[in-house]
Structure 1
Amino acid sequence: MRRAGLDLIYALALLGAGGLLLWETTDRRYADTMGLGVASDPAFYPQVLLGAWLGLSAILLLRGLFSPREAVPPALRLGRLAATVAVVSLYTAAISWIGFLIASTLLCLTLMPLLGLRRPLPVLAVGTLFPLAVWYTFVFVLQIPLPTSPWFRAL
């Protein structure tokens, strides 16, 4: 398959998924959490991220439409893809059970080596500091509650 063809396929899949997720954020059930200590509409930040997602997907679509047709080597590693899907699926299930911070840290520490990052110090630093920064931003800056661990309810 040609690179432009792959870009078109990925762009259309990402635009479809992002559009459905953005549509989901307009559901009225998310407005029911207003007044429960949440500083803003809980759908606001996901809508900002999904807007960026859709913008980047549109750029990928344009690249697929207007880039020269070059061959892509068949480098798809199905084992790595299956492992990534499994890890993300486990993360999705675990986040409500062990909390955002622990689940996200485990996700980052597992996913980065799986995707090819092998240097232990950067993997450890980013794998722990990035989820911590995201958690802090949501909970203390944006005042948006995230799932908590049953072991650390005070945080």
Structure 2
Amino acid sequence: MVLHRDSIAALFILLLVAGGWYDLQGVATDAAMFPRLILGAMGILAVVMFTTGLRRAAPDMPFVEHARNLAITVGLTALYIIAVEPVGYFPATFVFVAVLAFTLGLRRPLLVLASSAAFTGAVWLVFVAAFSRRLPPGFLFDN
């Protein structure tokens, strides 16, 4: 049996969900609630994705249609993860979202910058303002 690429991707997502759930074992219940909600939603959607992939015939197409875009995304994500601690979460996130959008082909600078700012601001509102959680401040900012 050859699986559709959606089913294969769903299995990978389920592995990530299981790893995230396992990683939350030592975290206090109140602090782990939001990540567990996100992981639970991801798990449910991955199961839906897996079952819809099973109903589709496996096409004769590569698993990854745009390998260049995948490589760019994985590479920039790795750099982002490395940069969060020394630079700080908010500046690293703003730059990551903007650079990723530009490198993947979005060519409307105002839209990219506004989206980057809106996303970073929304994360600040949720985690810092609403939940009073500190994120890595880095050397540029102290949240």
Match of residue 88, structure 1, among 77, 84, 95:
77
SS of 1:53's equivalent in the other structure is: helix
Aligned to 1:34: none
Cα deviation for residue 77 of structure 1 reads: 2.9
Q: Is 1:51 aligned to residue 60 of structure 2?
A: no
Equivalent pairs: percent with the same residue? 32
Q: Is 1:6 aligned to residue 5 of structure 2?
A: yes
Aligned to 1:108: 97
TM-score by length of 1: 0.80
Distance 1:123 1:56 in 2: 28
SS of 1:43's equivalent in the other structure is: helix
Q: Is 1:147 aligned to residue 143 of structure 2?
A: no
TM-score by length of 2: 0.86
Q: Is 1:120 aligned to residue 119 of structure 2?
A: no
Aligned to 1:65: 54
- Which sections of structure 2, spanning at least 5 residues, go unmatched? none
- Which sections of structure 1, spanning at least 5 residues, go unmatched? 32-39
Match of residue 65, structure 2, among 53, 71, 76:
76
Contact 2:88 2:140 (C-alpha < 8 Å) held by counterparts: no
Q: Is 1:25 aligned to residue 14 of structure 2?
A: no
In angstroms, what is the RMSD of aligned CA positions? Answer: 2.2
Cα deviation for residue 68 of structure 1 reads: 4.6
